Amino acid sequence: MLRDFELDMPADLQETLACLPGGTPLAGGTNLLVDLRARRESAERLVWLGNIDAFRDIKIEDGQAAIGGGTTVGDILRHPGMERAAPALVDCARVFGGQMVRNQATLAGNVCSGSPAADSVPPLLSLDAELCLASATQVRTIALDDFYTGFKKNRRSPDELVTGISWPVPGPNTANRFYKLARRKGDAITVVGVAVTVTRDGNTCTDARIALGAVAPTVFRAKEAEALIIGETLTEERVDEAAQKAKELSDPIDDLRASADYRRDMVQVLTRRLLNQAWQSLGEKEAGR
Ligand SMILES: Cc1cc2nc3c(=O)[nH]c(=O)nc-3n(C[C@H](O)[C@H](O)[C@H](O)COP(=O)(O)OP(=O)(O)OC[C@H]3O[C@@H](n4cnc5c(N)ncnc54)[C@H](O)[C@@H]3O)c2cc1C
């Protein structure tokens, strides 16, 4: 049974921020209400975010994409510019929950839930995203890469709200992909999630990001694997080395969905596959095919 709680319904951002000390933000509720019902969460006062003006705005201009803190997974799917601005995020949105969840679930809620299996986090890390955090007294930005400090722990203070997420739009020489491995296509918790970004100039990989989900206490970037391919031609051997390193950096658990060994193996398989796909697609583009 859902226990009783107080619900604040502030009219705008300033009122919302004033309610936050002592209150817990309620966005789509697809984590929070489920956790309250299951008694994994004990918040007594919730602050509804649904009245904040422009909280679902999406802007793509001057090489930057920025989404408001209330943007839902469904909003990502419906926005015509997202395929170009965030291909991996669109890959993720397509396999995120079911239709009803996609219509409610926000990206900020997904990021703040801090689950290692939060599906939007590998794509956002692969895009080098930043979070905008606002409190009643200050506004600051933090790289998503610096946000998590441990399992379900992050650097947001209780009086702060994620008011936006932004990232540089990948250029024409950059490929960005995500794959979610789960036991079925929809409404399934991720067994392994991998997102990659590869930038290609001729035969050289000039930049790369590899983000891994559900294989450690937090989603993380496999930076030592990235270092093995930056400045290199992505031959089969180089890609194998990077995929092997990503596997070594993973520290998954055994649970009812998969064994730790299987997860590690799948990190290797998926990292290799996505890097190859990204590299080849850029080669074909360059060759005009
Ligand atoms: C049936 C079902 C299927 C699901 N499928 C998936 C899936 O495929 N992939 C996946 O990753 N997740 C999935 N989830 C989990 C959930 O839907 C997501 O994590 C979702 O993105 C959470 O967003 P929300 O808006 O519902 O957040 P809420 O539940 O409202 O909040 C989650 C947490 O974030 C905090 N929060 C919310 N917004 C902000 C903000 N702007 N600033 C600061 N803190 C904030 C809240 O206080 C709370 O702690 C599923 C859940 C259900 C019930």
The pLDDT score that the predictor gives to residue 185 is 74
Tell me which CATH code domain 58-168 carries. Answer: 3.30.465.10
Query: Who lines ligand 1 at CB under 6 A?
Result: 24-32, 34, 49, 69, 96-97, 101, 104-106, 108-110, 112-113, 118-119, 161-162, 187
Relative to the CA of 24, which ligand 1 atom is closest?
47
Ligand 1: centre distance to CA 242 (Å) = 32
Tell which CATH architecture fits domain 174-286: 2-Layer Sandwich (3.30)
pLDDT tens, residue order, the chain (289 aa): 788 999 999 999 999 999 998 999 999 999 999 999 999 999 999 999 999 988 999 999 999 999 999 999 999 999 999 999 999 999 999 999 999 999 999 999 999 999 999 999 999 999 999 999 999 999 999 999 999 999 999 999 999 999 999 999 999 999 999 999 998 777 889 999 999 999 999 999 999 999 999 999 999 999 999 999 999 999 999 999 999 999 999 999 999 899 999 999 999 999 999 999 999 999 988 888 7
CB neighbours (10 Å) of residue 202? 9
Identify the three-state secondary structure at position 2.
coil
Instruction: Output the residue whose Cα is nearest ligand 1's atom 41.
Output: 162
DSSP string, 231-271: TS---HHHHHHHHHHHHHH------SS--HHHHHHHHHHHH
Ligand 1 pocket test: which of 16, 75, 112, 131 has the largest number of ligand atoms within 8 Å of its C-beta?
112
Delimit the domains of the chain by residue range. 6-47, 58-168, 174-286
**pTM of the predicted structure, to 2 decimals:** 0.97
Q: What is the C-alpha to C-alpha distance for residues 52 and 44, in angstroms, rounded to an integer?
A: 22
Relative to the CA of 46, which ligand 1 atom is closest?
47
